[in-house]
Chains A and B, each alone.
Chain A
Amino acid sequence: MAVSPLVTAPGEPSQTSTTNAAASPFKRLPSAVPSSSTGTPMLLGHHQSQNAPSAGGGASTMTLDPIEQMNETEKRKYIKGKKLGEGTYANVYLGHSRSDPSVLVAIKKIKVQQQYRDGLPLDAIRETKWLRELHHPNIISLLSVFSSKDQNLNLVLEYLPLGDLEMLIRDIDNVTYGAADIKAWMGMLTRAVWFCHDNWVLHRDIKPNNLLIAADGEVKLADFGLARGFGDPGYKMTSNVITRWYRPPELLFGARHYAGAVDIWSVGTVFAELILRTAFLPGNTEVEQIALICRAIGTPNEDNWPGVTQLREYTVPSETFPVVGKDSYMARFGAVGPDGVDLLMKTLVLDPKNRITAKQMLEHRWWHVDPKPRSKEDLPRKAEGGDKKMGADLKRRNGLVEDEPRGQKVARKLDFGQGK
C-alpha cells in the first residue's frame, strides 16, 4: 500500500504531520484507513500505474510539505465543471482531466458535516477505502482523491452518463426490455457483487439506483458508503444497513453477524424488480417490510430457518404463510424462464446459510440457456437526463429510499460501532 497517493510511507510523514496536523485531512487517513487486508498483487499493480504521473511536484509548491504537494498535483489534474447535483451529504460536479479534456469525470465533493466536524464522514472514508481497492469493470472506479479548500474531500469518479437502472425500470412508457436484457444486467450486477465478496467486501446498499450505466451500456455498482469488510468472528456489525426494500430478513431481525448473503438478497430483490418493473417488496416501515416478506416468500420459523426465533428482534405477524413454491414464482416471474425463476428463488431463500452465493449464482445454468444475454452495446438506454441522475445518485445519503412517504426523509443515525 506504500504506493497509494493517499497513504504515506509509515514513519516519515509522522514527523511532518505533527507540525500542522489540521492542515490536511489526508494525514489522518493512514490511521483512519488501515492498509488493505485484501490487497493482491494485481491490485497493487494498478495503483502503481495510477500513481506514476502524480509525483512530479512543481517548484512553486515547494513550501508545502510533501503530502500537501501531492494533494496539489492531484487537484491540478482535474478541472471542475458544472454542478450535476446538490445534496445534504455531497455535491456532484462534472469535471474533466486537465491533460485530456475528453476524459470526463464526476467529482463528488463531500460536505463538512456537523456530525463529524472533527473528522471525515464515515461514508466518505468507507467509500474511499473500498473503491481504492476494488478495480473491476462492473464497479465504479475511483480515479483520484484530493482535498480542496475548507478541507473538503473530493472523490474523482469515472463519469457514467446514462443514468441508472432505476430510471429504466420505472420508465415503462419509453423503455421496453426483455429477458435477454435482464440477463445481461443481472450478469453485470452479479459479477460486481461476486468480485466484492471475493475480496471480502460487503456492499450493503445494493439497489437499482446504485447501479449506474456507463456510456457503453456497462452497469457499474456505485456508492460504497456503507461497505465494509466481513468474515471476522466476534465482531458485531450493524443490522441497520441496506435500503429497506432490499434489506434481507436477517437484518430486519437484528442479526449482528452476517456475511455475503445480505447482498445476495438485495440482488434477488433487484432481479425481481427488473422483471416486475416495480419494487418487489416496498415496505414503508420495518414491520411492514417483514410482513411483505412473509406474504411474498413465507414466514420464517424454526423449520425453514433454524435458530431464527433467537434473533434479537424476531417478530413476525400472527398470520403465518408457508414458504411459497415454484408455481407461484413462475406465475409472477415466468418472463425469465424456469431457470431464471430457479435462480431468483435461490437468492430469496429465507435462511442466509442456505442462500446461494455470488459465485454459485455465476455458475448457475441460467446464463447458458436461451436467450443469450444482450451485448452491452445493444442494451436499452435512455439518452436524456442521465447526467442529472448520476448527480442525484451520488449526492444521496446511503441506505435510504428516495422520496419516502410521510416525510421520512430524515437521515437515519447509523450505528457503526463495532464490538460494543
Chain B
Amino acid sequence: MSRKATMGTRAPGGMGGPISSSSSSAIPDIGPEDMCPVCKTMRYLNKEMKFLINPECYHSMCSACVDRIFNAGPNQCPHAGCHKTLRRKGFRAAFFGDLSVEREVDIRRRVAAVFNQQEDDFVDLQAYNDYLQKVEDLTFDLVNGSDAQRSAAEAELQRWEAEHKADIERNRKAGREADEQSRRRRAAEQEAVRQRRLEAAREAQEEKQERARNREAELESLAKGQVPADATQRVQLKRRGQANRAVEAAAAAAIAATSAAGVVSSGDGGRLSIRGLKEKKKAPAPEGPYDPFGGPVFVPTRYKLHPALRHHDSDRYRNDSQHRTGGFSFDDYYARVMFEAFAGLGVFIEDEKEVGIGLSASEVVGMAAGLAAVSSDRMDLD
C-alpha cells in the first residue's frame, strides 16, 4: 500500500505537472503541506521536513530547498512567475497553515506597530474611532487591495511613520512597560498559588505525623500497662478534633451558600483563601502615646511633703560642705523618712504572720486568697 502510494505521487512530480490534492481515490491525499512545491520531496520520505516561507512573497518551500538555493546568497524565488529576490535571513516557519492569513497577520502586526496611538492620545472618542477606521481602511488596502491601492497604502504608512516617529517610539515603550508589568503580576500570582499549595501540603503532612505520634504514644502507654493518666486529655483532644470538624463543616456550608449565590468557587479554593487571610500578621494594637514611666506613678496619698521640712538632728549636717558638694539631698532624706513613717499603713501584720512555716500549701493558698480579698477591700476603703 505504502509503496503504491510512493509510486503514485512520484509520477506526477516527475512530469512537472501541477499537484492536485484530490487526485484519484487510489492515490492518498497529499496536501501542499506534505510536499515541497520546489523539490517535490514528500513528508513521507523525510519526517523531519519543515516548510519555510519568506514574507516577501509567501511562497513556501522546504528547509532543504532554502539551504540549497539561498546558502550562496540572495536568489530569485524558485516559484514560477515570482521574480522576488529573497534572502536566507528572511525565511521563517509559518504559524498559520493558510498563508494568506499568515500574510494578513504580518501586515496587521506591521501596521499596528506604526499606528500605535492610544485612546488617551485623542481629544474625544469620535476622533479615536475615525483614526481606527482610517487604520482599518489602510490595512484592508494593504491586504486585499489592487496593486495601485496597495502601493498607495504603503506610501501612506511610510509617510505616517516618518511623521510620527517620536510618538510611535514613546507609545511603544509605554506598551512594553505595561506588558512587562502584567507579566510580572501574572508571575507573582502563580508563585503565590504555588506557595499556598506547598503550605497546604506541608500542613497536611504535619497533621498526619502528629496524629501518628499521638497514637504511638497512646499505644506505648497502654503497652506499659499504665492506666493512661491523660485519658481525660485524650477525650479533650478528640473533642477538639470534633470541634475542628464542626468548624470545617460550617466553613464548607458558608462556601456552599456563596456559590449558590452565583459565585463559582470550589471548597478547596475557599479554604485556601481563608488560610491566606490567617497568614496575615495580626494587626498591631493601636499604640497610644509613649509613656516614659511605663505605668502609673505612685505618689504618697496619706501625707504631703512640705518643701521646708526640718528636723533638728539633720540640721547640723545642713551646713556641712561635704554634704552639700557631693550632691546629697536633704529633700531625699525627708521624702524617705516620711515614706518610711507611713509605709505599711493598711497592711496588717497579724494577718500575715500566720502565713508561715508549718502550713500546708492548700491552707496557704486559701489564706493568701482571703488575704488578697481582705487587703484589696481595705485598700479600697482607704
What residues of chain A have their CB less than 8 Å away from a CB belonging to chain B?
A: 2-3, 8-9, 37-42, 44-45, 48-49, 51-53, 55-57, 66, 69-70, 137-138, 187, 190-191, 194, 198, 200, 230-234, 250, 255-262, 305-308, 310-311, 351-353, 355, 362-364, 367-368, 372-373, 375
Contact across chains for B355 and A250 when beta carbons are under 8 A apart: no
Q: Which residues of B contact A232 (CB under 8 A)?
A: 333
Contact across chains for A306 and B325 when beta carbons are under 8 A apart: yes
Binds A, one of B146-154, B246-254, B365-373: B365-373
Instruction: Give bound CA distance, A232 to B327, whole Å.
Output: 13
Chain A residue at minimum C-beta to C-beta distance from B382: A41
Q: Residue A52 contacts which of B324, B358, B365 (CB distance < 8 angstroms)? A: B365
Contact across chains for B357 and A69 when beta carbons are under 8 A apart: yes
Contact across chains for A311 and B332 when beta carbons are under 8 A apart: no
B162-178 CB contacts (< 8 Å) to partner A: none
* A59 smallest CB distance to B (angstroms): 12
Contact across chains for B357 and A2 when beta carbons are under 8 A apart: no
Q: Residue B327 contacts which of A250, A363, A372 (CB distance < 8 angstroms)? A: A250
Contact across chains for B352 and A2 when beta carbons are under 8 A apart: yes
Contact across chains for A257 and B328 when beta carbons are under 8 A apart: yes
Between-chain CB contacts (< 8 Å), 11 pairs: A39-B343, A39-B344, A52-B361, A66-B357, A187-B290, A187-B294, A231-B333, A255-B326, A255-B327, A257-B323, A261-B327
Q: Which residues of B contact A42 (CB under 8 A)?
A: 298
Question: Given known contacts A256-B326, A311-B325, is B314 in contact with A233 (CB within 8 Å)?
Answer: yes
Q: Which residues of B contact A257 (CB under 8 A)?
A: 320, 322-323, 326-328
B341-382 CB contacts (< 8 Å) to partner A: 343-344, 346-347, 349, 352-353, 355-361, 364-365, 368, 371-372, 375, 379
Q: Which residues of B contact A187 (CB under 8 A)?
A: 290, 292, 294
Query: B340 at the A/B interface (Cβ < 8 Å)?
Result: yes
Contact across chains for B368 and A49 when beta carbons are under 8 A apart: yes
Q: Residue B379 contacts which of A38, A41, A70, A367 (CB distance < 8 angstroms)? A: A41
Instruction: Give bound CA distance, A334 to B352, whole Å.
Output: 54
Instruction: Give bound CA distance, A137 to B292, whole Å.
Output: 13
Question: Given known contacts A234-B317, A250-B327, A257-B323, is B332 in contact with A200 (CB within 8 Å)?
Answer: yes
Query: B336 at the A/B interface (Cβ < 8 Å)?
Result: yes
B31-74 CB contacts (< 8 Å) to partner A: none
Query: B330 at the A/B interface (Cβ < 8 Å)?
Result: yes
Question: Given known contacts A3-B352, A233-B323, A258-B327, is B332 in contact with A56 (CB within 8 Å)?
Answer: no
Q: Which residues of B contact A373 (CB under 8 A)?
A: 290
Contact across chains for B355 and A48 when beta carbons are under 8 A apart: yes
Chain A residue at minimum C-beta to C-beta distance from B361: A56
What residues of chain B have their CB less than 8 Å away from a CB belonging to chain A?
A: 287, 289-290, 292-294, 298, 314, 317, 320-330, 332-333, 335-337, 339-340, 343-344, 346-347, 349, 352-353, 355-361, 364-365, 368, 371-372, 375, 379
* A195 smallest CB distance to B (angstroms): 9
Contact across chains for A3 and B372 when beta carbons are under 8 A apart: no
Contact across chains for A55 and B327 when beta carbons are under 8 A apart: no
Instruction: Give bound CA distance, A109 to B103, whole Å.
Output: 91
Q: Which residues of B contact A310 (CB under 8 A)?
A: 321-322, 325
Instruction: Give bound CA distance, A9 to B355, whole Å.
Output: 10
Contact across chains for B325 and A308 when beta carbons are under 8 A apart: yes
Instruction: Give bound CA distance, A275 to B159, whole Å.
Output: 68
Question: Given known contacts A45-B375, A231-B336, A259-B327, is B292 in contact with A55 (CB within 8 Å)?
Answer: no
Q: Residue A352 contacts which of B287, B327, B336, B356 (CB distance < 8 angstroms)? A: B327
Q: Residue A40 contacts which of B293, B335, B343, B349 (CB distance < 8 angstroms)? A: B343
Contact across chains for A255 and B368 when beta carbons are under 8 A apart: no
Instruction: Give bound CA distance, A364 to B347, whole Å.
Output: 35
Q: Which residues of B contact A2 (CB under 8 A)?
A: 349, 352-353, 356
Contact across chains for A45 and B372 when beta carbons are under 8 A apart: yes
Instruction: Give bound CA distance, A294 to B328, whole Å.
Output: 22
Choose among A41, A138, A231 the residue with the greatest number of B CB atoms under 10 Å from its CB: A231
* A173 smallest CB distance to B (angstroms): 29
Instruction: Give bound CA distance, A40 to B323, whole Å.
Output: 28
Contact across chains for B290 and A372 when beta carbons are under 8 A apart: yes
Q: Give 9 nearest A-B pairs by CB, closest first.
A: A352-B327, A255-B326, A307-B325, A56-B361, A257-B328, A362-B292, A233-B317, A367-B292, A66-B357
Contact across chains for A41 and B332 when beta carbons are under 8 A apart: no
* B270 smallest CB distance to A (angstroms): 33
Q: Which residues of B contact A70 (CB under 8 A)?
A: 357
Q: Which residues of B contact A351 (CB under 8 A)?
A: 327
Chain B residue at minimum C-beta to C-beta distance from A66: B357
Q: Which residues of A contact B355 (CB under 8 A)?
A: 3, 48, 51, 55
Chain B residue at minimum C-beta to C-beta distance from A262: B327
Instruction: Give bound CA distance, A308 to B327, whole Å.
Output: 11
* B327 smallest CB distance to A (angstroms): 3
* B244 smallest CB distance to A (angstroms): 25
Chain B residue at minimum C-beta to C-beta distance from A362: B292
Instruction: Give bound CA distance, A37 to B335, whole Å.
Output: 13
